[in-house]
Chains A and B, each alone.
Chain A
Amino acid sequence: MNNSASNLMQVNGLSVSYPIQSAKLFSLKKQQFRALSDVSFVLKQGSTLGIVGESGSGKTTLAKAMVGLIKTTHGQISTAENIIPTRDIQFVFQDPLAALNPRMTVEQLILEPLCYQDSANLNVLASQKKLKQIMEQVGLEYSQRSRYAHEFSGGQCQRIGIARAMISEPRILICDEPVSALDVSVRAQIINLLKELQNRHGLTLIFIAHDLSLVRFISDELIVLYQGQIVEQGDTQRIFNHPGHPYTQALIEVEPRPDPEFERQREHVSARRQNQPQTSELACAYTARCQNRQMKCMHSQPDMTSLSDKQKVACFYPMK
Chain B
Amino acid sequence: MPLLLEAKNIKVRFKTARGTIYAVNGVDLSLNKGEVLGIVGESGSGKTQLMHSLIKLLPDNAVVSGEIIYQGQNIAQASLTQINKIRNNEIAMIFQDPMSCLNPYLKISTQLTEAMLIDRNLRKPEALRQAVEMLEKVQIPNARQRIHSYPYQLSGGMRQRVMLAMALLRKPKILIADEPTTALDVTVQADILQLLKKLTIEYGLSVLLVTHDLSIVAGQCDRVMVMYAGKVVEQAGVDNLFYHAKHPYTQGLLASAKSQSGMSNKLISIPGQAPANNKRIQGCPFSPRCDQRIELCDKNMPILSGSPSQLQACHLYGEFQ
Contacts and interface: CB of A to CB of B under 8 A. Distances in A.
A161 to B, nearest CB: 16
A156 interface: yes
A254 B186 contact: yes
Contact of A185 (B42, B186, B187, B263): B42
Interface in B237-279: 238-239, 242-243, 252-254, 256-263, 267-271, 273-274
A83 interface: no
A254 B187 contact: yes
A296 interface: no
Interface centre among A186, A192, A259, A271 (most CB of B within 10 A): A259
A259 B218 contact: yes
Size class of the contact patch on chain A: 35 or more
A188 B215 CA distance: 15
Contacts of B271: 189
Contacts of A191: 267
B216 A256 contact: yes
Interface string A58-73: 0000000000000000
Contacts of A189: 269, 271
B187 A54 contact: yes
Interface in A166-216: 183-189, 191-192, 210-214, 216
Contact of A258 (B191, B257, B273): B257
A186 B186 contact: no
A250 B185 CA distance: 12
Interface centre among B185, B212, B214 (most CB of A within 10 A): B185
Given A184-B212, A188-B256, A256 B190 contact: yes
B273 A188 contact: no
Nearest to B217: A258
B188 interface: yes
A162 to B, nearest CB: 15
Contacts of A262: 218
B298 to A, nearest CB: 21
A173 B219 CA distance: 36
A184 B187 contact: no
Nearest to B156: A55
Contact of A210 (B185, B215, B273): B185
Contacts of A153: 43-44, 273-274
A94 B258 CA distance: 23
A263 B219 contact: yes
A188 B260 contact: yes
Nearest to B194: A268
Contacts of B256: 184-185, 188
Contacts of B262: 213, 216, 240
A185 B238 CA distance: 19
A270 B191 contact: yes
B14 to A, nearest CB: 15
A214 to B, nearest CB: 6
B6 interface: no
B273 A271 contact: no
B194 A270 contact: yes
A46 to B, nearest CB: 20
Contacts of B218: 256-260, 262-263
A271 B215 CA distance: 19
A210 B157 CA distance: 14
A188 B189 CA distance: 21
A227 to B, nearest CB: 13
A129 interface: no
A291 to B, nearest CB: 13
A59 B214 CA distance: 27
A127 B253 CA distance: 38
Nearest to B222: A260
Given A188-B269, A189-B269, A256 B215 contact: yes
A148 B259 CA distance: 33
A174 to B, nearest CB: 20
B166 to A, nearest CB: 21
A70 to B, nearest CB: 22
Given A254-B186, A256-B218, A270-B190, 8 more contacts: A54-B187, A55-B185, A185-B42, A188-B256, A188-B269, A211-B186, A250-B187, A260-B238
5 contacts: A154-B43, A185-B256, A210-B185, A258-B257, A270-B194
